[in-house]
């Protein structure tokens, strides 16, 4: 059980946190939440704290860093961090309703555009020390292995972090070509991953797919299915 190690699960929005709470409660109906937790957090089950931290890599990373620091100062440090929620899936790589585990979380739009295409920031001559954890943060091997064992049907691959969600066919094709191992796109994972890396805390990212990545079409979104899948997958976090 991952929660036995003292797990922080961060989501973007409250609806994602509620779906995870539901899954943890169903998996451990008799579990007793911790007696105390850092201010602003929400104990979901024994050893697991779930917090909606906001949308996008900047706010998610800053909030995660604060939560880790508060827990450390209180003498109850977290032993692992999971960024969790819904995502878009690349067609042919992760179907709507699928559960995805990130092999790495990638800052997919951090860099520069040029006449010949996108240039990642780590190819712009930046000193490595200015890139923090780099433009891609791998999932902790032990944490990823535990999640894969608990979720054997999950799709494993890179999850891209973007500040602007992809909404065109051309943008989708460009991302898919640049990241052939990418299976999904979300908005927080890389920010959370950098915060965890700076704190020396193991990190993983778990997503469920609500829509195919491509031209923006709200009629193709399947939020109910994605939230149901997130509730089911959350049992692996308890």
Give 149-168 pLDDT, tens digit per residue. 999 999 999 999 999 999 99
Q: How far is CA 73 from the centre of its chain?
A: 25
153-211 per-position pLDDT tens digit:
999 999 999 999 999 999 999 999 999 999 999 999 999 999 999 999 999 999 999 99
Q: CA gyration radius for the chain?
A: 17
pLDDT at 2: 66
For 2-237, CATH number out of 3.40.50.1580, 3.30.110.40, 3.40.50.11540, 3.40.50.300 equals 3.40.50.1580
State the pTM of this model. 0.89
Q: What would the pLDDT profile of 124-151 be if each residue is shown by its tens digit? A: 888 877 877 688 999 999 999 999 999 9
Beta bridge partners of 88: 185, 211
User: Helices 14-27 & 223-234, crossing angle to 10 degrees?
Assistant: 40
């Amino acid at each position: 059980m991952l929660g036995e190690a003292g797990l922080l699960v961060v989501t973007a929005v409250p609806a994602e946190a509620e779906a995870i709470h539901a899954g943890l409660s169903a998996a451990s109906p008799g579990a007793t939440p911790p007696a105390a937790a850092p201010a602003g957090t929400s104990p979901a089950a024994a050893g697991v704290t779930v917090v909606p931290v906001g949308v996008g890599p900047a706010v998610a990373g800053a909030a995660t860093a604060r939560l880790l620091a508060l827990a450390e100062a209180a003498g109850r440090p977290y032993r692992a961090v999971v960024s969790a929620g819904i995502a878009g899936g690349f067609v042919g790589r992760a179907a709507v309703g699928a559960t995805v585990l990130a092999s790495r979380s990638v800052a997919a739009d951090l860099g520069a555009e040029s006449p010949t295409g996108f240039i990642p920031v780590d190819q712009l001559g930046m000193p490595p020390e200015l890139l923090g954890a780099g433009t891609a943060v791998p999932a902790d091997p032990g944490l990823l292995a535990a999640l894969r064992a608990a979720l054997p049907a999950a799709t494993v691959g890179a999850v891209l972090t973007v500040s602007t969600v992809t909404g065109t066919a051309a943008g989708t094709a460009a991302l898919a070509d640049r990241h052939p191992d990418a299976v999904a796109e979300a908005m927080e994972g890389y920010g959370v991953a950098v915060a965890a890396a700076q704190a020396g805390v193991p990190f993983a990212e778990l997503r469920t797919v609500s829509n195919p990545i491509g031209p923006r079409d709200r009629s193709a979104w399947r939020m109910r299915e994605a939230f149901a899948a997130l509730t089911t997958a959350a049992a692996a976090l308890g």
